[in-house]
Structure 1
Amino acid sequence: MTQPYEAYVWAYFTGDQGDSERISLAISRGNDALNWRTLNGGRPLLTSAFGTRGLRDPFIMRSHDGDRFYIIATDLNVAALHGGFREA
């Protein structure tokens, strides 16, 4: 028998300046999707040493068996793209 879930997890990145393209996590306080507590003191938990060394647009996916979760993210470091995105 599976245990009921106690909280939600939120994976996010904070922007596209400097080294902000890293994945941070927060957890909800119980079943309240409007009340969050950041993990690791709000500092990123996941960084990349591959590709452009940026992590953006995280997506959390449960395995087919339901016994684990995976985080998938885009490999993109906007700040490393010759000054980043520019407005037209």
Structure 2
Amino acid sequence: MIHEERSKLSEKTLDLKRAIDSLKEELEAVDWYNQRADACTDENLKKILIHNANEEKEHAAMLIEWIRQHDENFADELKDYLFSEEEDIASLED
């Protein structure tokens, strides 16, 4: 959903919106597959559902990388938080 008049939005903003919307959809798909795999009683189906969840995670990672490349502030935040050894993540906040 676009919250502002489309004609007032730059192509960059629209592309970022597309990426963010797609990321949300990929993460939702991961959640759905995880729930289905957890509830499933057939081991072969469970394996397929877990495989599908992992595919969605790959898609989400690709989108995060695209967003990082196109949003400098997001890139800075990812540098601060990703792959930190700190367990208290909130303590990393500037």
Query: When the two structures are superposed, what TM-score results if normalisation uses the length of structure 2?
Result: 0.24
Structure having the higher Rg: 2
**Higher share of residues assigned strand:** 1
